[in-house]
Structure 1
């Protein structure tokens, strides 16, 4: 016999973090914007852990915001399944590299 369950919600695992509130999310994105932006400005790239889809979406959004802020494209690539790398994209026309003879 199948029972219908109404108003039942799944509970997160005890070790799972709770989702951020809208205010916490905005503050965290602002922090990433500042910290990663400073590192990218200094070194040309930065890497940051991204364990969940939300972490990856957040970092891609930060890269788009940095691109709009600087007027230069900031690229995002996965280094592995747990890290993303944000970097300044060289927008100069590609030239052929000299051959090593």
Structure 2
């Protein structure tokens, strides 16, 4: 059925978050920030969790903000200005 999204299994979710941690982490390490599509609340929640994990891993705060309805920006503390109303601070 079109338009229906099948939730990821627990194993798929863990693999996807690990991929995001690696890919976004590398990009943030290189340029101080990264953006990624986030079309659903689950997408945004997943990116907040990745930012929290990066914060713990690096010992440096990684902020998360919605750029628009479909994109989220993760930013290492000290790189770029965030708006006054980020969707979450990890």
Bin for the TM-score computed over the shorter chain: 0.7 to 0.9
Q: Which digits, 9 at most, give the CA deviation of each residue in 1:38-75, with x for residues without a partner? A: 00000100000000000000000000000000000000
Aligned equivalents of 1:32, 1:67: Cα separation in 2? 14
Match of 2:42 among 31, 36, 54: 54
Match of 2:57 among 38, 47, 69: 69
- Which consecutive unaligned segments of at least 5 residues does structure 1 have? 1-12, 91-101
1:98 counterpart residue number: none
1:32 counterpart residue number: 20
Larger relative contact order (C-alpha < 8 A, sep ≥ 6)?
2
Question: Larger Cα Rg: Structure 1 or Structure 2?
Answer: 1
- Which consecutive unaligned segments of at least 5 residues does structure 2 have? 79-90
Aligned equivalents of 1:16, 1:81: Cα separation in 2? 19
Q: Which has the higher helix share?
A: 2
